[in-house]
Amino acid sequence: MSGPRGYRVAVLAGDGIGPEVVAEARKAAEAAGARFGFGLDWVDYDLGADRYLRTGEVLPDGVLAELREADAILLGAVGRPDVPPGVLERGLLLRLRFELDLYVNLRPVKLYPGVSSPLADVKPDDIDLLVVRENTEGVYVGAGGTVHRGGPAEAATETSIETRAGVERCLRFAAAKARERAGRLTLVHKANVLVHAGDLWQRAARAVADEAGVALDYTHADAACLYLVSDPQRFDVIVTDNLFGDILTDLGAAIAGGLGTAASANLNPEGGPGGLKERSGSPPVHRSPSLFEPVHGSAPDIAGTGRANPVAAVLSASLLLDHLGEREAAAAVEAGAVAALPGAAGYSTQALGDRIATAVAGGGSPN
């Protein structure tokens, strides 16, 4: 169905509650498609713990080649206690980020009406920011190793690799987001200790901010954690490296009410919808699809109980539609999810998804 007003979406439902929340995200996206006049062709892929334990495969090359042809990828969650740590995280999630060059991890931190924050006296308008995390460099590249494992002289290294090109392209995306919002960009790093990488980020950030015409601020990573708790309104768009972004965004999810509403996008901003795209007067250009997923894990302890909150997956589907250019549909999906939040704990996963889909379809508020 990929083509004008039709999109092919690869689905990696994954493990635990992943299939349950993805089913509700699909339901909301389909309701938006019916309302706004576009189609979604869902293609399911068997990737995750079950496949690994059955075959030893994590992400076969042939499957990766098929994923490249999708317009976007929707992922539920991966991981299970009977799979060794790192197998699925590195072999599936990180490999997809590196192979598809998904160099931006975008995580909105937003307190929605009807959601309680652990912070005292904060209102929804007080917490509304974006974190732009560099997604393909830093310590996550896997450079390093261990020698003399198990012995008294054992030593381990993890090397962080930052490139000017990688830093600049992430900063440009963040600056563009800041320009669309309040014009404020905050670089978060630890330049007083990580002097080499920190200096690269600071110099590049000043140049990009000047070029984009946005105001630039700098905050140490530890101070940023403090300010997210004590003064979240201080931030509008945060840009940071891979490791600090990983840490800050979980704290951001906590102050915004928890992982139940925490959505994320792993973006190749130049890619747009993936697959082969025609270019006037030139051969088709291959563009990598972007990947969208809720921040929460697979929660195997509640899988199958109907207690999983699908809102983060639905909000991730909203980000997916926005990336595909279906902005009205994306806004409707977000509004439907937000409308269903008050009293959401009283509904099963499927019932809450039905309420959201009804609102998205134009059936009015689910309350």
Residues classed as catalytic = 140, 190, 222, 246, 250
Q: Which residue has the tokens 């134009």?
A: 362
Q: Residue 318: CB partners within 8 Å, gap ≥ 6?
A: 28, 263, 330, 331, 333, 334, 337
267: its two tokens? 């973006």
- The DSSP H or E segment spanning 283 is strand 282-287
Helix (H, G, I), strand (E, B) or coil at 104: strand
Q: Residue 70: CB partners within 8 Å, gap ≥ 6?
A: 2, 8, 9, 10, 43, 274, 275, 289
N residues, the chain: 367
Question: Going by DSSP bridges, is the β-strand pair 128-134/237-240 parallel, antiparallel, or unpaired?
Answer: parallel
The percent of the chain in helix, strand and coil, each rounded to the nearest 5, is: 45, 25, 35
Other CB atoms within 10 A of residue 303 CB: 18
Q: Could you give the CA distance from residue 251 to residue 325 in angstroms, rounded to a whole number?
A: 30
